[in-house]
Structure 1
Amino acid sequence: MIGSMRMKFIPRTLSLLTLSLFLSGCAGVNLNPLQWFGGDEEVNPPAELIEISSEVRLSRIWSVDVGNGQGDNYTEITPVIEGNRIYAASENGSVLAVDLDSGDVVWRNRLDDLQLTGGVGAGGGLVVVGSRDAEVLALDQTTGDIVWVSEVTSEVVSQPIANDDIVVVQTVDDKVAALNTDGGERRWIYESTQPPLTLRGTSRPIFTPADTVVAGFSNGTLVSVSASDGVWRWEERVAVPEGRYDIDRVIDIDGDLVLDGDRILASSYQGNLIALDVVTGRIVWGLQDASSYHGLTQGFGNLYYCSDKSHVVAVRDNSEDTIWTNEDLQYRAITAPTAINNYIAVADFEGYVHLLSQIDGRIVGRAQVDSGGVRANLLAYQGRLITYGNSGTLAAYSLQ
């Protein structure tokens, strides 16, 4: 199985998602693919919600307004949890810290005249966001005051990561830069070759116990570099581009990577799921033809992913066995899966949160949290589900 990972590939038909390739990097246009088509016909229309037998319900504990949320463009600004606080940001420059237990706003800062597109990152005493104008802004975690501003090569559309030494950001032009935590000066930069067409978005890099940074790129490769100086350690493909046309050869790694002990788990669009050794980059497990532009999650000995058709799939870890597949949310533009208690949580373009049983994949709970939809990944904190709606509502829910 592993030896054959270099690699079978089946081109897929044109979808709403792949059409977004043409507009990546274009300013001033609506990047929401659900709104590109007029008339009565839809390409890949989203499935209608079916009636469910509810076994669990979501009860809101607190909520906070965060500016204009995702704004009018197709951003995916996602909050981050650090300790007992959650840090969130809006497209129009509102950044805040919220106590996760009480929902109280600890501080709020309005970054005037800035359009935020990437965030939120936290670490090393900083809260980090990125702008459409290729700026990285670091705020003090305690006060919310701006500590430094640094320029990078292009727009930041993913979450930065940070520790006591460096802040790492990945830009839409397939570059990864490390900035000094204490002043924002550039420490190193890694550049990857960008294909002619890509999806709008990048995955979030990760720090590893091997003192490296691993990042996924739009050419379907994972790259590991030294965290201290950016020196190349290894590179491996998650997918190989095939097909006659550029649109058939899109294999972006857009979903966030998962660090699982000495393994890194990754997925790619029109590609595969793979697990690689953190130190060597050797492929230790793989599942072919598992196209996804989302991240993964784990639970009950399974890996869970959302396909490019918004199917939720459970695969037995370290095997090719599919435990279950739920197609009820087809083309509803769902978020990456989040494991919480006995459930897998996803949200969709109409703002519904769906709770699926980890055992058999049935939808056993549902609630609409934002009529404007949800693109930010859901977060879990001490049995609570944290949602950030496109309209700007940050909320915590208990599962009952």
Structure 2
Amino acid sequence: MSTKRLGLASCLILALAACGTTSNAPEPNPLPQVADKAGAAVRWNRSIGGSTELRYRPAVSDEAIAVAGAPNQLALLDKASGQARWTVTLERPVAGGVGLNDKLVVVGTLKGDVIAFSRSGQQLWTAKATSEIIAPPVIGSGVVLVRSGDGRVSAFSAEDGSLKWFYQRQQPALLLRNFAAPLINNGVAYVGLPAGRLVALDLQDGRVRWDAPLALPRGASELERVTDVVTTPVFASGSVCAVAYQGRVGCIEAASGTLLWTREASSASGLEADGQAVYFTDDKGAVVALDRSSGRNLWRQDKLANRALSAPALHGNYLLVGDFEGYLHWINRDDGAFVAQRPTDGGRVAVAPQALSGDTVLVQTTKGGLYAFGVK
């Protein structure tokens, strides 16, 4: 195994956040020179907390945004202006991000606490997971789904925090730290697992509806055989698509678990999809577009190589990724060409930007900066 792959995998396995540059890491590509064709501009920006390497993922609902910041900050913001409706300081650091719906704001901590607040900021209940919570809680169908560091997925009642069910399977000897929240769609939770598997769980009782292999472990050593789905799956036109580290990218029929197609790929960042394509950032820093129905290669943009890209996000007619220096890059969905580039505060954009509306997205950096960007 190459020094590059060994260094990347070790950091992902052992750390709570992606590691920084090392003496033997490949040099990141310089910033490409981009002529602005998208009219990208800041609509508003705020700051919450200080610098951190934890991956805080904001949550967005109809008119509000829930955000966490270092070390122990939680806030609910107005979606249109970014003004704080309320802010609380927790006793323990928040980890993984925030869950939000029309009634609840939920966070998890590094000590395994699950804490639910009302939309007015009143603490409603607490629950306890079996280990640290490093993925954002997800709320749906009357439950709060929490993924803990030991691989367990726990479903707590959204009403009172009581445990309704849990799902756990035996873990391999070596695995990546999993920051991925489950995907909830139509009463089912889709969860990426170690060893390249994707499982569909009934939200009411945790029953396994199907368990499908996306990628099979390969290689002589345990490190080479790490093939984990460590990013949140996406739902697209009746299929669930996911990507594995040192494995494959593909789509599975949501109803039956039938594998529709796969292609060789490796990513610990994540993917996005629309009606025509699946988009992902691979572990070399390329942004790739594949045909959603067949997996056929559409385009590949590799001018951001080794810039530690976030997962891509849809933004109007464009695709948006962030990098380790806090730069944002807008890409044409049709051909992979750059259409805009903007800086933030220099902190890494570690998670995918979040859609606020059709032409506005929210970006959070590891320095605590929050930026709402729009395009023309």
TM over 0.5, shorter chain: yes
Choose the corresponding residue for 2:149, options 172, 185, 209.
Answer: 172
- What is the aligned partner in structure 1 of residue 304 from structure 2? 329
In the other structure, the counterpart of 1:86 is: 65
Separation of aligned partners in 1, 2:291 and 2:307: 25
CA 1:166–1:22: 2 relative to 1, 3 Å:
closer
CA RMSD for the aligned pairs? Answer: 2.0
**1:397 match:** 373
CA distance in 1, matches of 2:145, 2:352: 20
Q: 1:166 to 1:12 in 2, by over 3 A?
A: farther
- Matching residue of 1:34: 20
The Cα of 1:15 is off from its aligned counterpart by 4.6
Q: 2:6 matched to 1:23? A: no
Distance 2:263 2:374 in 1: 36
Structure 1 residues 139 and 109: CA distance shift in structure 2, 3 A? same
* Range 296-305 or range 319-328, more displaced: 296-305
Cα 1:228/1:386, change in 2 over 3 Å: same
Q: What residue in structure 2 maps to residue 61 of structure 1?
A: 43
Cα deviation for residue 145 of structure 1 reads 1.8
For 1:164 and 1:256, locate their aligned partners in 2 and report how far apart those are by CA, in whole Å.
Answer: 18
SS class of match (1:20): helix
Contact 2:332 2:339 in 1 (8 A): yes
Is 1:278 paired with 2:254?
A: yes
CA distance in 2, matches of 1:34, 1:24: 11
- Post-superposition offset of 1:215: 0.9
Shift of 1:176: 0.4
Q: Deviations over 1:54-105 (max 9, x none)?
A: 2234321211211125x1xx32110011111111001312111111112221
Select the residue among 105, 110, 127 that pairs with 1:150. Answer: 127
- Tell whether 2:364 aligns with 1:388: yes
Structure 1 residues 108-144: Cα deviation after superposition (integer angstroms, max 9, x where no partner): 11113x1111221112611111111011111112x11
**What corresponds to 1:161 in structure 2?**
138
| Residue 235 (structure 1) aligns with | 211
What is the aligned counterpart of 1:103 among 60, 82, 87? 82
State the TM-score, normalized to the length of structure 2: 0.94
One-letter identity of the residue aligned with 1:157? I
The answer to whether the 8 Å contact 1:46/1:332 transfers is: yes
Is 1:267 aligned to residue 243 of structure 2? yes
The Cα shift of 1:282 comes to 1.1
Partner secondary structure for residue 264 of structure 2 = coil
What TM-score results when the alignment is normalised by the length of structure 1?
0.89
Letter paired with 2:135: S
Q: Does residue 1:133 correspond to 2:119, yes or no?
A: no
Partner of 1:47: 29
Counterpart of 2:282, as a letter, is S
Q: Is the 8 A contact 1:305 1:336 kept in 2?
A: yes
Structure 1 pair 282–32 and aligned structure 2 pair: CA distance change class (3 A) = closer
Instruction: Tell me if 1:246 matches 2:222.
Output: yes
How many Å separate the matches in 2 of 1:261 and 1:146?
38
2:317 counterpart letter in structure 1: N
Conserved in 2, the CA contact under 8 Å of 1:311 and 1:326?
yes
Residue pair 2:110, 2:132 contacting (<8 A) in 1 also? yes
Contact conserved, 2:107 with 2:136, CA < 8 A, in 1? Answer: yes
Give 1:147 shift: 1.1
- Paired with 1:22 and 1:263, the residues of 2 have a C-alpha distance of 29
Q: 2: CA distance between counterparts of 1:299 and 1:221? A: 22
Are the equivalent residues in 2 in contact too, given 1:11–1:248 (CA < 8 A)? no
More displaced stretch, 10-19 vs 100-109: 10-19
- Residue deviations 1:155-193 (CA, integer Å, cap 9, x gap): 111111112511001112111000011111111110022
Amino acid at match of 1:56: A
Letter of the structure 2 residue corresponding to residue 80 of structure 1: A
Q: Is the partner of 1:48 in helix, strand or coil?
A: coil
Any gaps of 5 or more consecutive residues in structure 1? Answer: 1-9, 26-30
Any conservation in 2 of the 1:326–1:361 contact (CA below 8 Å)? yes
How many residue pairs end up in the alignment? Answer: 375
3-state SS of the aligned residue for 1:95?
strand
Task: Provide the C-alpha distance between the structure 2 equivalents of 1:344 and 1:111, rounded to a whole number of angstroms.
Answer: 35
Contact residue 38 and residue 339 of structure 2 kept, 8 A? yes
